[in-house]
Amino acid sequence: MTNEQAKAQLAEIIEGVQEQMRGIAQIQRDRAKIVASATVRKRVTVSVNADYKVIETKFSSDIDDLTYPEIARAMTEAAQQASAEVARLTQEMMAPLQEGRSRLPKLTDLVADMPDLIVPQAVEASLAAPNSPERQENSEGNELLGAPDRSGSATDSSW
Predicted pLDDT at 107: 66
Contact call for residues 42 and 71 (beta carbons, < 8 A)? no
Quickly list H helices, the chain. 3-31, 68-103, 107-110, 133-139
Residue 33, pLDDT > 90, answer yes
Predicted pLDDT at 144: 40
What would the mean pLDDT of 44-65 be, rounded to a whole number? 97
Residue 150, pLDDT > 50, answer no
Residue 45, pLDDT > 50, answer yes
Contact call for residues 46 and 82 (beta carbons, < 8 A)? yes
pLDDT digits (tens, 9 = 90+) for 82-117: 999 999 999 999 888 878 777 766 767 666 776 776
Q: Other CB atoms closer than 10 Å to residue 76's CB: what's the count?
A: 15
What would the mean pLDDT of 119-139 be, rounded to a whole number? 81
Residue 50, pLDDT > 80, answer yes
pLDDT digits (tens, 9 = 90+) for 16-25: 888 888 888 9
Please state whether the predicted TM-score (pTM) of the whole model is above 0.75.
no
Predicted pLDDT at 143: 41
Domains of the chain are 19-132 (3.30.1310.10)
Predicted pLDDT at 140: 56
